[in-house]
Amino acid sequence: MEIKKGLEDVYVKETEITYIDGELGRLYYRGYSIYDLAEFSNFEETSYLILYGKLPNVYEYENFVKSLRESRGISDRVKEFLKGVKKNAYPMDVLRTAVSIMGLEENSHTYSVSEQSIINLISKFPTIISYYIRLRRDLEPVEPDTSLSHAANFLYMVNGTKPSEEECRAMDVAMILHIDHEMNASTFASLVVASTLSDIYSAIIAGISALKGPLHGGANYEALKMFREIGDVENVEKYILNRLANKQRIMGFGHRVYKTYDPRARILKSYAKLLAEKKGGEIRRLYEIAEKVEEIGIKYLGSKGIYPNVDFYSSIVFYALGFEPEFFPTVFASARVTGWIAHILEYVKDNKIIRPKAYYKGEIGRKYIPLDSR
């Protein structure tokens, strides 16, 4: 019996959403190159593409954008929950529970996905996240601005000021790059729940819970932590060699699918560099350290097919845009929720409950001994 630990190379469904060529380092959403989408599209248009399988026409795009903008507000019940949460609570736990409250408010017990549910989930994630960020900073939450794009409004609600054009574009591209990535752990977790015909909110909560793990959505936090620990470009090689000698991972390096440079990392590197040049100071120092880590890491690991992944430079981009490291996974989730929904919609069209098998290796026929005789 061959056991595929981690379900590696096991196909669980057919999909028309995302294609990854791990050998050549290519990524496509609905057949469109991630490079083209990152250059020409935005989060709203790419979300529509992921959800509905085609680029929208002008009417469809404007209607979708309008729906997202008008649905950003969160209920008083969710606000009261966020105000009552301890300031040291883990942000992914807060997001997960807020989404659970949203599910309670919709009062859906079994699988049903309305257009409004889809819009609510995508539009409200940034509001929940930014609301809690502001409360943790002892600042008044900033209400959504319907005149701003999805990315611009997110940054506005977090920082309290209208973002620059460069910041808006960096955020937009970062969110595009995180929208979907085929059958990753959080997408699979969402599908397992949806396959039971549970409600959409429960399925999304499963995705959040899986993304919370440091081997998935938490890796960019660990990458930034590493850059900070290194402290200076001069310390990079010694630090990396020490980690390798102790058989420790280089955070932000390596991927289950990519055996070459992650295309998302290539794109994010250019935005990390742009933000470093614009902001200077700590951001510039962290970028310079990251660049050196990349050089040394590839020198020793590239021959093994281990290169920077999306988490490597997204950590600097998110930090430069005003997010504390603990919130990095929530920003990831605010984009990936679109992908989770798309995969759920695709799978449930021809649904079969996901129920893999486990190979039993224990004893059979053991004799029961009463408690007083053990």
How many whole angstroms separate alpha carbon 177 and alpha carbon 159?
Answer: 22
Q: CB atoms < 10 A from the CB of 108, how many?
A: 17
Instruction: Please state whether beta strands 26-29 and 32-33 pair in parallel, antiparallel, or not at all (unpaired).
Output: antiparallel
- Reference 123, options 146, 106, 97, 92; nearest CA is 146
pLDDT value for 113:
82
pLDDT value for 287:
97
Identify residue 253 by its one-letter amino acid code.
F
Contact 327, 216 (CB under 8 A): no
Residue 27 bridge partners (DSSP): 20
For all residues of the chain together, what is the average pLDDT? 95
Contact 145, 137 (CB under 8 A): no
Catalytic residue among 180, 199, 262, 311: 311
Report CA-CA distances (Å) from 175 to 62, 155, 159, 216. 19, 12, 17, 16
Note if 109 is an active site residue.
no
Q: pLDDT tens-digit profile of 198-211? A: 999 999 999 999 99
228 token code pair: 């900070």
DSSP string, 15-47: -SSEEEETTTTEEEETTEEHHHHHHH--HHHHH
Query: String of b and e for 265-301 (b: at least 16 CB within 10 Å)?
Result: bbbbbebbbbbbeebeeebbbbbbbbbbbbebbeeeb
How many whole angstroms separate alpha carbon 89 and alpha carbon 129?
Answer: 13
Q: Which residue is associated with the tokens 């988490």?
A: 311
- Reference 316, options 222, 214, 224; nearest CA is 224
Report CA-CA distances (Å) from 93 to 128, 219, 234. 12, 17, 37
Torsional sign, CA 122, 187, 227, 327:
positive
Note if 255 is an active site residue.
yes
pLDDT value for 141:
97
**CA 112 and chain centroid, separation:** 24
Q: pLDDT tens-digit profile of 11-62? A: 889 999 999 999 999 999 999 999 999 999 999 999 999 999 999 999 999 9
Catalytic residue among 199, 255, 262, 343: 255
* Burial zone of 10 (CB within 10 Å; 0-12 exposed, 13-18 middle, 19+ buried): exposed
- Reference 38, options 217, 170, 152; nearest CA is 170
Q: What pLDDT tens digit does each residue of the chain (374 aa) get?
A: 788 877 877 888 999 999 999 999 999 999 999 999 999 999 999 999 999 999 999 999 999 999 999 999 999 999 999 999 999 999 999 999 999 999 999 877 777 788 999 999 999 999 999 999 999 999 999 999 999 999 999 999 999 999 999 999 999 999 999 999 999 999 999 999 999 999 999 999 999 999 998 888 888 888 999 999 999 999 999 999 999 999 998 988 988 889 999 999 999 999 999 999 999 999 999 999 999 999 999 999 999 999 999 999 999 999 999 999 999 999 999 999 999 999 999 999 999 999 998 889 999 999 999 999 99
If you ran DSSP here, which 8-state letter would residue 175 be given? H
How many whole angstroms separate alpha carbon 111 and alpha carbon 83?
Answer: 31
How many whole angstroms separate alpha carbon 288 and alpha carbon 284?
Answer: 6
3-state secondary structure of 85: coil
pLDDT value for 106:
86
- Reference 92, options 222, 220, 226, 210; nearest CA is 210
Report CA-CA distances (Å) from 287 to 137, 174, 226. 25, 16, 12
